[in-house]
Amino acid sequence: MNNSSFSIAMVERDTGLSKDVLRVWERRYGFPCPLRDAHGERQYPADQVERLRTIKRLMDQGHRPGKLLVASPDELAALTPKRSPKRTQSIKAAVDETIEALIEPIRQHDAGAYLQQMQQRLARQGLQAFVQDTVAPLTWRIGLAWEEGRIEVFEEHLYTELTKRLLRQAIAGLPPGGGTPRVILTSVSEEAHVLGLLMVETLLALEGAECIPLGTQMPLLEIARAADAHAADIVALSFSVAFPARRIPGLLEQLRRLLPDRVALWAGGSGVRKLSSTPGIEIIHDLPQTLAALADFRGGRHNRG
Amino acid sequence: MNNSSFSIAMVERDTGLSKDVLRVWERRYGFPCPLRDAHGERQYPADQVERLRTIKRLMDQGHRPGKLLVASPDELAALTPKRSPKRTQSIKAAVDETIEALIEPIRQHDAGAYLQQMQQRLARQGLQAFVQDTVAPLTWRIGLAWEEGRIEVFEEHLYTELTKRLLRQAIAGLPPGGGTPRVILTSVSEEAHVLGLLMVETLLALEGAECIPLGTQMPLLEIARAADAHAADIVALSFSVAFPARRIPGLLEQLRRLLPDRVALWAGGSGVRKLSSTPGIEIIHDLPQTLAALADFRGGRHNRG
DNA sequence: AGTATTGATTTGTCCAGGACAAACGAGGTG
DNA sequence: CACCTCGTTTGTCCTGGACAAATCAATACT
């Protein structure tokens, strides 16, 4: 049951490593070393796919491929908690123990318990505080657990799905929009993560902005069309930490060129941490800054050069 | 503002056509014919990207690439409504005029009006009938409009996003699960469409089954792990009509091998239209059949040869 | 001591052109 | 009309080379 093998296309989809990368690694480092079928095509055993996933995860953490690919399985396992003690401490300080406890039902695959806990917190904190002080740190904590390999992909999927539902339900309960500005919320083709967008949408909707949620993975040209059709004032994009950071500036500039000047372009999410705003492109680093940017916009300070 | 150009990687992401396909088309048919930058790398002008999107859409409709790629823009435009008169008639018969009217707010980008209409229908019909007689035909109708080029990508995204919210809200209002069987609902890595899964989840939840929604785009190995961790009885996958049909049987067989025998495997959605069930893999062609399969399962007829 | 600069190495992505099997369609036969 | 056969179409994979951007390491400078 575990002896099935995967074609290079499947491995690309399941690991996120492109065919080119898989082949060039094989050429350079000797791993992965897939079998070949009758036609000479690569057939990756399941255990090699698993190892590739681990390597990908460690790379997202900052490790170098050159080291990881020549490491033994033991060395790989030992590498996992790369985080410095100092940073671990600051994390412990920043994240309430309560948040930590919220993860438990997810790790035990108990959807009902999770939802119940969260709904209680929502009722107690109110929507804005719930988003900023519960959902945001919890999502960050889940990301950390993922980096450390302490959580499975399907557990993260379950968390995302359940939390999406909570937020959407909360948004649906708000009075309908019609206000200003009109904000399109979406992400580019490669970016599938949606929780950040939902948090922003919640905050903006609470402030009476008109939110136009287009889901994730929109082609650039379509984003431009949508901005036109909806007479949007702002296009807000989200980039998760997993998004290849070097591509973001180019993408934003390209989209900036496709949009009319009167439309503001905001980019947020953990993926833009290291960027800063340029004329016509506003980089937003955290949730409070979203509200500040909204206030700025309403104050009329959004005129471009 | 429209003179920006796209790298081959961007075109791949935005059109869904692989780099290999883009290059081999250029070699064989002379289209696309991108410019080259200083390093000899392809730079696709925006209008060629647009044309590629049209071609992709027509191909999904059954047209052959060999014809499309040598056609003039005029010929391409004339090709759009390829549907036979007979089939058009049967569509008109099947789809209530009322359904047709529901699309209007979407085409006018009026989210509020759409949600209001739909919530009225939900209240009038009840959840099960709403899913089967409103959401399902409406989604089908949207797909048709997309095939015919009468709807923009971002309009389809808006429809999907708003309808997702309606269904999730409805599901959240149901009494919590805890029943049997335990059903994992998800889709494979390439498949991002989620509406079908939500419709199925709604119906199953109404019947008291315990639904475990993992969202879309799960790697096969993770689906297997999730089935184990959640002690699932059934894994239900959804394939949209846009999913490359030839890959589905292989994927299902591979997943079947990864799952324990006691776990049933269901596959549904427009993508499986031409397939039929095999031992251990149940193909489900429409929503009523989902309920039949559930009844079968509960009746104990799910023992595998 | 800390910071800027320069050079070497790593790494992802692109390219060309060849090959081939699976899917498709046309044409013939029962 | 159904079934088979054969040529054509089409997507995907292959090899191996190239190169620029990112990163690292070592030196020189304030």
The larger pLDDT score, comparing residue A177 to residue B265, is at B265
Residue of B nearest to A2 (CA): B258
- In the stretch 49-88 of chain B, residues with CB closer than 8 A to chain A read 49-50, 53
Residue of B nearest to A116 (CA): B176
Q: What is the CATH number of the domain that holds B246?
A: 3.40.50.280
**B225 and B291, same domain (yes or no):** yes
Please name which of A126, A195, A184, A198 lies closest in space to residue A156, comparing C-alpha atoms.
A195
Does nucleic acid strand C have an atom less than 7 angstroms from the CB of B301? no
- Range in A95-109, A233-247, B66-80, B244-258 with the lowest mean pLDDT: B66-80
Does nucleic acid strand C have an atom less than 7 angstroms from the CB of B302? no
Which nucleotide is closest to the Cα of B63 by its C1'? C24
Through-space separation of residue A245 CA and nucleotide D21 C1' in angstroms:
13
* pLDDT of A74 over the 50 cut: yes
A112 chain-B contacts, CB cut-off 8 A: 176-178
**B286 and B192, same domain (yes or no):** yes
**B117 and B42, same domain (yes or no):** no
User: How far is B109 from chain A, CA to nearest CA, in Å?
Assistant: 7
Please name which of A91, A237, A16 lies closest in space to residue B217, comparing C-alpha atoms.
A16
- E strand or H helix at A45, and its extent? strand A42-45
Does nucleic acid strand C have an atom less than 7 angstroms from the CB of A114? no
* Nearest-by-Cβ selection for B152 from A115, A176, A225: A225
**Is B177 a member of any domain?**
no
User: How far is A39 from chain B, CA to nearest CA, in Å?
Assistant: 17
B263 chain-A contacts, CB cut-off 8 A: none
B115 chain-A contacts, CB cut-off 8 A: 176
Mean pLDDT of all residues in A231-248: 93
**A155 and A255, same domain (yes or no):** no
pLDDT in tens, B132-189: 999 999 999 999 888 888 899 999 999 999 999 999 999 988 887 678 899 999 999 9
pLDDT in tens, B97-142: 888 899 999 999 999 999 999 999 999 999 999 999 999 999 999 9
Q: What pLDDT is attached to residue A85?
A: 43
The larger pLDDT score, comparing residue B96 to residue B214, is at B214
B192 chain-A contacts, CB cut-off 8 A: 192, 217
Domain that holds residue B161: 85-172
Instruction: Please say whether the beta carbons of A155 and A109 come within 8 A.
Output: yes
Mutation site for B-interface testing, chosen from A117, A154, A164 by largest number of B Cβ within 10 Å: A154
What are the b/e assignments for B255-271, b being 16+ CB within 10 Å? bbebbeeebbbbbbbbb
User: How far is B169 from chain A, CA to nearest CA, in Å?
Assistant: 6
**Is A305 a member of any domain?**
no
Q: What pLDDT is attached to residue B149?
A: 86
**B234 and B252, same domain (yes or no):** yes
Taking all residues of chain B, what is their mean pLDDT, rounded to a whole number?
Answer: 90
Mean pLDDT of all residues in A33-62: 94
Give the confidence band of A11 by pLDDT, cuts at 50, 70, 90. Answer: very high
B13–A112 CB contact, under 8 Å: no
- E strand or H helix at A283, and its extent? strand A281-284
**A207 and A156, same domain (yes or no):** no
Q: What is the CATH number of the domain that holds A167?
A: 1.10.1240.10
Q: Specify the pTM.
A: 0.92
Which nucleotide is closest to the Cα of A63 by its C1'? D23
- Distance between CA atoms of residues A151 and B285, nearest Å: 35
Through-space separation of residue B238 CA and nucleotide D10 C1' in angstroms:
26
- Distance between CA atoms of residues B29 and B33, nearest Å: 9
User: How far is A85 from chain B, CA to nearest CA, in Å?
Assistant: 31
**Which residues are paired to A278 by β-bridges?**
A281
Does nucleic acid strand C have an atom less than 7 angstroms from the CB of A19? no
Q: What is the CATH number of the domain that holds B19?
A: 1.10.1660.10
B111 chain-A contacts, CB cut-off 8 A: 212
Taking all residues of chain A, what is their mean pLDDT, rounded to a whole number?
Answer: 90
**A293 and A207, same domain (yes or no):** yes
A49–B221 CB contact, under 8 Å: yes
Mutation site for A-interface testing, chosen from B47, B110, B157, B162 by largest number of A Cβ within 10 Å: B157
Final residue of a structural domain among B54, B79, B104 = B79
Through-space separation of residue A178 CA and nucleotide C5 C1' in angstroms:
56
Q: Flag residues 231-250 of A with CB < 7 Å from strand C.
A: 244
Instruction: Please say whether the beta carbons of B219 and A153 come within 8 A.
Output: yes
**A145 and A233, same domain (yes or no):** no
Q: What pLDDT is attached to residue B84?
A: 46
- Angle CA A62–A63–A65, to nearest 5: 125
Protein-covered nucleotides on strand C (Cβ within 7 A) = 10-25
- Chain A contact for B168 (CB, 8 A cutoff): yes
**A67 and A89, same domain (yes or no):** no
Q: Which two tokens stand for residue A291?
A: 């509200």
Q: Which two tokens stand for residue A166?
A: 């909570």
Through-space separation of residue A38 CA and nucleotide D5 C1' in angstroms:
25
Phi, psi angle pair for A178, to nearest 5°: 110, -5
Q: What pLDDT is attached to residue A84?
A: 46
Does nucleic acid strand C have an atom less than 7 angstroms from the CB of B250? no
- Structurally, how many domains does chain A consist of? 3
**Is B303 a member of any domain?**
no
Q: What is the largest CA-CA distance in chain B?
A: 67
* pLDDT of A50 over the 80 cut: yes
**Is A34 a member of any domain?**
yes
B218–A186 CB contact, under 8 Å: no
**A91 and A74, same domain (yes or no):** no
A254 chain-B contacts, CB cut-off 8 A: 4, 6
A225–B190 CB contact, under 8 Å: no
**Is A177 a member of any domain?**
no
- Distance between CA atoms of residues B18 and B246, nearest Å: 16
A155 chain-B contacts, CB cut-off 8 A: 229
Q: What pLDDT is attached to residue B76?
A: 76
**Which residues are paired to B278 by β-bridges?**
B281
Percentage of chain A modeled with pLDDT above 70:
92
Final residue of a structural domain among B115, B143, B172 = B172
Does nucleic acid strand C have an atom less than 7 angstroms from the CB of A149? no
Final residue of a structural domain among A61, A79, A97 = A79
- Chain B contact for A94 (CB, 8 A cutoff): no
pLDDT in tens, A182-194: 999 999 998 999 9
Q: What pLDDT is attached to residue A24?
A: 97
- Distance between CA atoms of residues B289 and B305, nearest Å: 21
**Is A161 a member of any domain?**
yes
Question: Helix, strand, coil: what percent of chain B each, to 5?
Answer: 55, 10, 30
**Is A303 a member of any domain?**
no
* pLDDT of B34 over the 90 cut: yes
- Chain A contact for B10 (CB, 8 A cutoff): yes
Place of tokens 């953490």: A61
B194 chain-A contacts, CB cut-off 8 A: none
Q: What pLDDT is attached to residue B301?
A: 56
**B64 and B149, same domain (yes or no):** no
- Range in A6-15, A67-76, B281-290 with the lowest mean pLDDT: A67-76
Helix, strand or coil, per DSSP, at residue A15: helix
**Is A11 a member of any domain?**
yes
**B100 and B190, same domain (yes or no):** no
